[in-house]
């Protein structure tokens, strides 16, 4: 049996939550390995809708769920999310949930800095969620972060606070803000510490034990490859690596453990916030995609920008992240279109490109080259087998996998867990 790593192969919002939930019911452990509470997953199980931002999707099924060291953790957001899910009947305890004790914390000062920077950036805004993710990652690589394990040693935190506040006080002064209130910060940490520490442990050790026992591990990514800090549309990216390779470093297991890499791909393309988007449609077609797809961010509530499927970007994401197979989601949103288009290349300064360039100016200026196909009038919503799909929808799926040079493993036809066509089982591959 293989382990499975799930990543978004576009700009996030591809429908990872439903796919991870579907896979989690067959896994023995689910691990979040990067990001923070800036990305949301919506799960629909029967009549119940669960909205997750930080907790691994497996928590809803009672599967062992782990937040790895590659995540930046807002302890107060964690507590609020657990309380909300508990009120919905989800049981969360130290037996089915664990947090890496070397996981960095998102503090109030990180949220402050995030907001101050965006407010002052003017036209240079990159569209962050304002939740302190970027500043927390900066402190991690700057070696001044406070981590989960530090919550058990708050009386010995003075040296770390000196380093942390020396950095943030200077930045705050530049924005005309007072220094960090160290006493207030310590008081907040003392209050939240017992709650977080009940789940804290060296999760690398627990995961290695799970792996040695032959259990199946599902690695759950957040955002998408096009938001990766190295490989995404820089600077309009997140602050972590979202590619599949991060599953190893962000969980404490080696790269041989990551197994089948499943890339989640929406049947069209969306993006939240600023940044280049070659196939964006600012017309009634784009509006129709957004309305039919209910394209609003789970975390921010922001309306998503919509456009035709971009095979160039998706092929690039699959190559960079070593995707074994894709899960194609939201196919039903394309039901009823007379014609559908797929971007198969770009024009830039008189040249044809088969890849997305790295420079922001080039990214903003590429013009999509489209291939047009007949649409389908029948419905794909709720389909659970190829026989349930219109013939033209099958042709669309086949063309997508040809263009992105990656086979389809799953097709999702609604938010419902069981409305899934299994082409290739990631856990058995």
Other Cβ atoms less than 10 A from the Cβ of 80: the count is 14
CATH 3.40.440.10 residue spans of the chain: 4-102+198-260
Instruction: For residue 412, say whether it is annotated as part of any ligand binding site.
Output: yes
- 221-234 in b/e burial notation, b at 16+ Cβ within 10 A? bbbbbbbbbebbbb
105 in a known ligand binding site: no
pLDDT reported for residue 388: 93
CATH 2.60.120.10 fits 4-102+198-260, yes or no: no
In the chain, which residues fall in CATH 3.90.170.10? 266-422
Could you give the residue range(s) of every CATH 1.10.300.10 domain in the chain?
108-196
Q: Which listed residue (140, 168, 266, 341) is catalytic?
A: 140
| Fold (topology level) of 108-196 | Adenylosuccinate Synthetase, subunit A; domain 2 (1.10.300)
Instruction: Return the CATH class of domain 266-422.
Output: alpha beta
Phi, psi of 353 (to 5 degrees): -115, 145
CB 305 within 8 A of CB 272: yes
Q: Which of 271, 261, 369 lies closest to 311, judged by CA?
A: 369
Residue 41 is a catalytic residue: yes
The answer for residues whose C-beta is within 8 angstroms of residue 185's C-beta and 6 or more apart is: 107, 108, 109, 161
Is 300 among the annotated ligand-binding positions?
Answer: yes
- 182, 159 Cβ separation under 8 angstroms: no
Contact 339, 375 (CB under 8 A): yes
Q: Is 223 annotated as a binding residue?
A: yes
125 annotated as ligand-binding: no
294 is catalytic: no
CA-based torsion, 10, 11, 17, 23: positive or negative: positive
41 among the known binding-site residues? yes
User: Is residue 209 classed exposed, middle or buried when 0-12, 13-18 and 19+ CB atoms within 10 A define those classes?
Assistant: exposed
**Helix ranges (DSSP H) in 367-413:** 391-404
| Averaged pLDDT in 10-residue chunks for the chain of 429 residues | 90 86 88 87 78 88 93 96 94 96 97 89 72 94 97 96 96 96 97 98 95 93 94 93 95 92 96 92 93 76 89 97 96 95 97 96 96 95 92 97 97 86 88
**Interatomic CA distance for residues 310 and 362, integer angstroms:** 16
Phi, psi of 82 (to 5 degrees): -65, -45
Query: How far, rounded to the nearest angstrom, does the alpha carbon of residue 147 sit from its chain's CA centroid?
Result: 22
Peptide bond into 235 cis (omega under 30): yes
Q: What is the dihedral of CA 104, 135, 132, 85, to 10 degrees?
A: -20
Q: Which of 41, 167, 168, 266 is catalytic?
A: 41
* Cα dist from 421 to 121, 256, 395, whole Å: 45, 28, 15
Check the annotation: does 128 bind a ligand.
Answer: no
Question: Is 246 marked within a binding site?
Answer: no
CB 185 within 8 A of CB 157: no
């Amino acid at each position: 049996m293989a382990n499975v790593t799930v990543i978004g192969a576009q700009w996030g919002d591809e429908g990872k939550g439903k796919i991870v939930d579907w896979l989690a019911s067959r896994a023995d452990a689910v691990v979040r390995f990067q990001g923070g509470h800036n990305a949301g997953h919506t799960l629909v199980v029967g009549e119940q809708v669960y909205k997750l931002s930080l907790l691994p999707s497996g928590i809803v099924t009672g599967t062992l769920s782990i937040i790895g060291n590659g995540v930046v953790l807002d302890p107060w957001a964690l507590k609020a999310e657990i309380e909300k899910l508990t009120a919905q009947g989800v049981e969360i305890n130290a037996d089915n949930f664990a947090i890496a004790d070397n996981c960095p914390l998102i503090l109030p000062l990180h949220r402050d800095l995030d907001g101050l920077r965006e407010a002052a950036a003017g036209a240079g805004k990159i569209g962050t969620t304002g939740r302190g993710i970027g500043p927390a990652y900066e402190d991690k690589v700057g070696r001044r972060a406070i981590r989960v394990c530090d919550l058990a040693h708050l009386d010995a935190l003075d040296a770390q606070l000196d380093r942390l506040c020396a950095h943030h006080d200077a930045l705050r002064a530049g924005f005309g803000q007072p220094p960090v209130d160290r006493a207030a910060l310590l008081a907040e940490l003392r209050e939240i510490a017992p709650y977080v520490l009940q789940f804290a442990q060296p999760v690398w050790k627990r995961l290695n034990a799970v792996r040695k026992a032959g259990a199946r591990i599902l690695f759950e990514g957040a955002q998408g490859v096009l938001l990766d800090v190295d490989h995404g549309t820089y600077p309009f990216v997140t602050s972590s690596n979202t590619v599949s390779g991060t599953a190893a470093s962000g969980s404490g297991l080696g790269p041989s453990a990551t197994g089948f890499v499943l890339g989640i791909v929406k049947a069209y393309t969306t993006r939240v916030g600023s940044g280049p988007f070659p196939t964006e449609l600012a017309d009634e077609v784009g509006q129709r995609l957004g309305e039919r797809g209910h394209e609003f961010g789970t975390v921010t509530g922001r309306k998503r920008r919509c456009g035709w499927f971009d095979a160039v970007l998706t092929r690039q994401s699959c190559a960079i992240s070593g995707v074994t197979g894709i899960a194609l989601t939201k196919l039903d949103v394309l039901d009823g279109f007379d014609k559908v288009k797929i971007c198969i290349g770009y024009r830039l300064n008189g040249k044809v490109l088969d890849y997305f360039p790295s420079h922001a100016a080039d990214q903003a200026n590429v013009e999509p080259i489209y291939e047009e196909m007949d649409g389908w009038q029948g419905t794909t919503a709720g389909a659970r087998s190829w026989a349930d799909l219109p013939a033209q929808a099958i042709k669309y799926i086949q063309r997508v996998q040809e263009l992105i040079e990656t086979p389809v493993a799953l097709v999702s036809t609604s938010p419902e867990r069981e409305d899934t066509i299994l082409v290739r089982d990631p856990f058995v591959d």
